Chain A
Amino acid sequence: MADVGRHPNITLHTMSEVVDIKGFVGNFNIRVLKKSRYVDESECTACGECAKVCPVVYPDEFNVGLSSRRAVYMPFPQAVPSSYAINMNECLGHGCSKCADACDKNCIHFHMSDEDFQVNVGSIIVATGLEPYDPREMDEYGYTRYENVMTSLEFERMVNAGGPTEGNLICPKGRKTPRSVGFIQCVGSRSRQKGGEYCSNTCCMNTIKSTLVLKEHYPDMEIKVFYIDIRAFGKGFEDLFNRSRKLGVQYVRGLPGSIEELEDGSVRVAVENTGTGRIEYHDLNMMVLALGMKPSSGTQRLQEMMGLQLTSDGFYLEAHPKLQPVDAATRGIFYAGCAEGPKDIKESVTQGSAAAVRAIRLMHRGVITTEPITSEVIAEHCVSCGKCATVCPYNAIAVDTKKKIPAVVNTAACAGCGTCAAECKFGAIVMNHYTDEQINSQTDIMLAENAADKILTFACNWCSYAGADYAGVSRLQYPANVRLIRTMCSGRVDEEFVWHAFEKGAPVVLVSGCHIGDCHYIDANHWTEKRINKMHKKMEKMGIRPERLQLEWISAAEGIRFAGVMKDMDQLRQNVTEAEIVETVKILGERKKKK
């Protein structure tokens, strides 16, 4: 930790948050909001004189509320940067200024203001970590109702020599060293009702570690662990588990159904021991809840800012679960640690190193090759209406609507979603690698034989096509008459592609993309949605059943949903009669003639 503070190549911004991200791989522009510390961190010597005189007392976050701190405080003794900070929401302000008077170095400045600055970087590593599960949701365990029911994090602080009790374990109620301690596993993990359905990966070993720490300090303490499975899968883990059992820690297979408080503050747990099949009651002086992990609270906001994908559990989704475990689907962005899923320290460190190397691999040449899949304007066809510039999520198109100067695409800024090409009514924009002809040719071939049996699906590369891949990897079976046409974004799916498909005898058409808010191209899928809504109205007017055109949002993690949607599409297809298709072909043929 201290190395980070000292390193000449690292600029550390604490109390800072990313508020906006623009640009693309190699050249990201990031806006950071740095909250004011009100203490000059380069001058502060962490002498602590300020905190001694501060009259405001608040619970200490680092010790999860088990001790107190002042409004001017140091988060913990080894904090980096080694500097005090003032929480201005708590501080009494100018009227008080006792701390400023006490500071010999004059490094407290009440007039300091928040900084809002921008940095340019070539790559980003997302290491936003985790948040412990809040066990108040599981009322049956009585956390906060019963004082001697604690979380694993509170327990950690208490047994820490630098913690509020200097390493002595004390029951909050009764203030005595407990003679017996219980641990409940999977609090907030592996449950369909409360918390996450996933395994939090670290709680088994963390509890085993805690039992060893307790046995070292209190050899005669009675310790019981209530669990579903003990997952001691890592190197050296089984040894620790065996050591814990040899020291007399009892492992009871079964999660308690309820906890009640006894008169002396102890708790009585009722548990069905699945080893013996009996209901058992255990009285324990203290109960520790082994908390699971949740994604950190800012995850979703950051994900939307960067156009990344999340798994159904809310953690970041990697580009490939085995082969690209630290890469985001967006080039130049990498994941490390619990941001990607619950993991222990060793795994977090491994991923941190892996992400660093992936970033170096990208940057070491000093230049980057950009994908040539961008749009181009055919100046002769352009009427300078400005529609393309309006829909472009990247402001990559310049057009002067007053002077009627044709649109120009800045290819370095263009990310290649193709929304402009789909929205241009004059055929003045060509989307490289996904031209009208290239896409319609696939439709033509697909529908050349037995068109009525087929389900034409347009799928965006990042979410829906990936969702279909995920269905494949998961071996989820769905009707074999589905045919996918890949576009980079659902925003590329031109109205004409759909009319063309119906004219060629398609019974149904599905347009699928990323969920709103998750679009890989910021908000290009908004235009997809608008377009499809408009088309539904047109279909009604033309006498084509609007249901035959469907729009679905399917994420990269939603393999099950993809398979489900395909089954629904097949149901829909079976309702479309041969006569209906013939009629539609006729209607659209006439529409074409009119044009």
Chain B
Amino acid sequence: MGSSGMAAVGAGVDKSRIGVYVCRCGLNIAQTVDCAKVAQNAAGIADVVVSKEITYACSEPGQMEILEDIKENGLDRIVVASCSPRLHEPTFRQMMKKAGLNPYLMEMANLREQCSWVHMKEPDAATKKAEDLVKMAVARVGLLWPLTEEIVPLTKKTMVIGGGIAGIQAALDLADTGYEVILVEKTPSIGGVMAQLDKTFPTMDCSI
């Protein structure tokens, strides 16, 4: 994709060009929330240039569609109204980078975990809430600033706390790959509860 040739937009000096994508999430959102109506409603908000519903925003075709819109319409800020940002914020920030935009000029509205799934029997109220959440996200996205990540050095070492079977396996895999491991165990020996077992299922062999 690369940069679409437009200037990076600063802190709202120019008018923003916002794209809004209301994800249906298959039927996860769409069975309760009237996504078309939410998208239509958002289209009327100032600075919103594109507003549409989309089947799966996170999918490859979904992201491609957004990327193409960004290029064609010179969008500089994006609202994705889909699931929890705790799940897909990294996905869409990555997409922003792909489009040559600052990843922090993207905002999500949580229409799935905090709307369609929790108001399943009230489609009208859920749709109304979804409209509010999108409006809130649009207001916020317009005020966001581009931010840059810092790159800092990292210590290529891992501490494994606990020397039972899980800790042993993790320590060995890391160490075999060439990473330094510090394994901390409370008792005088590693082995944990596993070492106390006689035969172990499903192989019926000894544990040590």
The reply to whether the CB of B160 lies closer than 8 angstroms to some CB of chain A is yes
The reply to whether the CB of B165 lies closer than 8 angstroms to some CB of chain A is yes
The reply to whether the CB of A415 lies closer than 8 angstroms to some CB of chain B is no
Q: Summarize A's interface: helix, strand, loop or mixed.
A: mixed
Count, chain B residues at interface, CB 8 A: 89
| Residue in B117, B128, B158, B186 whose beta carbon sits within 8 Å of that of A124 in the complex | B158
| Residue in B147, B163, B189, B202 whose beta carbon sits within 8 Å of that of A432 in the complex | B147
| Smallest beta-carbon distance B162→chain A, Å | 4
| Interfacial chain A residues near B67, Cβ < 8 Å | none
**Contact count band on A:** 35 or more
* Smallest CB gap from A348: residue in B: B166
| Interfacial chain B residues near A127, Cβ < 8 Å | 160-164, 166-167, 170
- B-facing residues in A533-573 (Cβ within 8 Å): 563
| Interfacial chain B residues near A124, Cβ < 8 Å | 158-161
Stretch at the interface among A354-362, A378-386, A418-426: A354-362
Question: Is the Cβ of A213 less than 8 Å from the Cβ of B199?
Answer: yes
| Interfacial chain A residues near B133, Cβ < 8 Å | 483
- With A4-B172, A14-B187, A445-B139 known as contacts, the answer to whether A363 contacts B195 (CB < 8 A) is no
| Interfacial chain B residues near A122, Cβ < 8 Å | 154-158
The reply to whether the CB of A261 lies closer than 8 angstroms to some CB of chain B is no
Question: Is the Cβ of A345 less than 8 Å from the Cβ of B158?
Answer: no
Q: Interface digits, A450-491 against B, CB 8 Å rule (1 contact, 0 not)?
A: 000000000001000110110111011110111111100000
Stretch at the interface among A231-239, A279-287, A586-594: A231-239
- With A18-B184, A127-B161 known as contacts, the answer to whether A206 contacts B132 (CB < 8 A) is no
Question: Is the Cβ of B169 less than 8 Å from the Cβ of A472?
Answer: no
Question: Is the Cβ of B132 less than 8 Å from the Cβ of A79?
Answer: no
Question: Is the Cβ of B118 less than 8 Å from the Cβ of A356?
Answer: no
| Residue in A302, A433, A468, A477 whose beta carbon sits within 8 Å of that of B147 in the complex | A433
Chain A residues near B (Cβ < 8 Å): 1, 3-5, 7-18, 26-28, 30, 32, 37, 62, 64, 75-76, 78-81, 85, 119-130, 132, 153, 156-157, 159-161, 163, 205-206, 208-209, 212-213, 234-237, 239-240, 296, 298, 302, 320, 323, 334, 336-339, 344-346, 348-349, 351-353, 355-357, 359-360, 362-363, 365-373, 411-412, 432-433, 435, 437-438, 441-442, 444-446, 461, 465-466, 468-469, 471-473, 475-478, 480-486, 563
Chain B residues near A (Cβ < 8 Å): 84-87, 104, 110, 112-114, 117-122, 125-126, 128-129, 132-133, 135-136, 138-140, 142-145, 147-202, 204, 207-208
A-B contact pairs, 22 of them (CB 8 A): A4-B183, A12-B163, A15-B187, A16-B186, A28-B159, A64-B196, A119-B182, A120-B155, A123-B158, A123-B159, A127-B161, A129-B193, A336-B169, A339-B166, A345-B200, A412-B150, A438-B143, A469-B113, A475-B117, A475-B120, A480-B125, A483-B136
